[in-house]
Amino acid sequence: MTITLQGQHLIFLISQPRSGSTMTQRILGSHPLIQTAEEPWILLHPLYPMRHRGYEAEYRAELANRGLKSFIALLPNREEDYYEGMRRMYAYLYQQALPEGKQFFLDKTPRYYYIIPELARLFPEAKFIILLRNPLSVLLSSTNLKKGSWYRIYRYKADLLDAPSLLVDSLANLGKQALQVNYEQLALSPETEFERLCDWLGIPFVPEMIEYGRVEWEKWGLGDHVSVHKHQRPSTESLDKWKGALDDPQFWRASQDYLEALGSDLLARMGYDYAELTQTLAEHQPRSLRSTASLHKILTARERFFWLERLLESLRAHGVSVTLRTILRNRRI
């Protein structure tokens, strides 16, 4: 079958990073009718130049935006002609990526959460799977407690603070074009949830697809390439892992701050109970939080570490072996 210009037979899987999207992708990609490929990212590039902010380029993005707007003004149908051009190009590329026998292409790119309205305009008949996960599980997965360092978490600032509302807003705006899936339900009842997913996609449920580990996957450089290999099928092992991490004072404080930042209304729309989560925090509060930093302070640390990372890149380019951890040893944010 053909991926049409309107996006029929095209599936988008969108989530916060660290939400179990790679596992979900591999299960869906194990279906005999679905083709997928790590994380394409291909639609961020043509859509972002239409925005006045949010991206940078060495050729000066603001000038490119002005030039693009001027060119679009020459088109008979303005933006709709630009979208039609993208529609023809990217429907063609997705179709070319389909091997014989496959009928659907699954594009799993978590940070498409930035452009969901544009994607829906571009491909109004595409299907959107919106994957949500307990925010405290996402927070834990975004940190590196084993190494005792939080300095890189600023890279996930938008993923943690902006993505949840953009994702749940899209569910309301897309209507029947989107389906909400919660990671916890996938882990607890994979057969039931993926049968529901297949029914929504209009394809037969194949029980063997749950055993995603039976498929020989090529090595991917994007997405989860650690946890997904630990199991052959969905596991409940990580569902309560965040509770065990509450003994760490910094994680406890960041968790409290994160729940307050999201708020009870947004959490409820995501499918999670603010009161229940805060009660769990109260039951595991460490004796002292004196040496901890607020989540806001951690997430705004970019300005302080940006020059250090650039220095490291320069040193490594000249053959000097050093790590940021070495520089920051015995220091706190």
pLDDT tens per residue, range 177-191: 999 999 999 999 999
pLDDT at 192: 97
pLDDT > 70? residue 306: no
180: left (phi over 0), alpha (psi -120 to 50) or beta: beta
At 193, phi and psi to the nearest 5?
A: -70, -40
CA–CA distance, 248 with 285 (Å, rounded to integer): 9
Which residue, chain included where needed, has tokens 């300005």? 303
pLDDT > 70? residue 104: yes
Mean of per-residue pLDDT scores for the chain: 89
CA–CA distance, 189 with 197 (Å, rounded to integer): 12
CA–CA distance, 94 with 85 (Å, rounded to integer): 14
Burial of 330 (0-12, 13-18, 19+ CB in 10 A): exposed
Alpha helices in the chain (DSSP H): 21-29, 44-47, 61-74, 79-96, 116-122, 135-142, 157-161, 163-174, 183-188, 190-201, 241-244, 249-270, 274-283, 295-299, 302-317, 324-328
- Confidence label for 143 from pLDDT (cuts 50, 70 and 90): confident
CA–CA distance, 152 with 301 (Å, rounded to integer): 9
By the 8 A CB rule, do 24 and 146 touch?
no
Report residue 85 CA to chain centroid gap: 27
Q: Which of 11-20, 134-143, 214-223 has the lowest mean pLDDT?
A: 214-223
- pLDDT tens digits, residue range 62-84? 999 999 999 999 999 999 999 99
CA–CA distance, 105 with 3 (Å, rounded to integer): 8
With pLDDT > 90 as the criterion, what percentage of the chain qualifies? Answer: 70
At 318, phi and psi to the nearest 5?
A: -100, 15
- pLDDT tens digits, residue range 147-205? 556 767 888 999 999 999 999 999 999 999 999 999 999 999 999 999 999 999 999 99
CB count, 10 Å around CB of 202? 10
Distance set, CA 189 to CA 56, 121, 192, 229, 233 (Å) = 43, 33, 6, 20, 11
Q: At a CB cut-off of 8 Å and minimum separation 6, what does 98 contact?
A: 3, 35, 105
CA–CA distance, 80 with 113 (Å, rounded to integer): 22
Which residue, chain included where needed, has tokens 């959107």? 128
Report residue 104 CA to chain centroid gap: 21
Domains and CATH numbers, the chain: 10-148+159-238 (3.40.50.300), 305-333 (no CATH)
pLDDT at 291: 85
Burial of 196 (0-12, 13-18, 19+ CB in 10 A): middle
User: What's the length of the chain?
Assistant: 333
By the 8 A CB rule, do 28 and 13 touch?
yes
pLDDT at 148: 55
CA–CA distance, 329 with 38 (Å, rounded to integer): 35
pLDDT > 50? residue 333: no
Which residue, chain included where needed, has tokens 């943690």? 160
- pLDDT tens digits, residue range 7-25? 999 999 999 999 999 999 9
The β-bridge partners of 11 are 106, 127
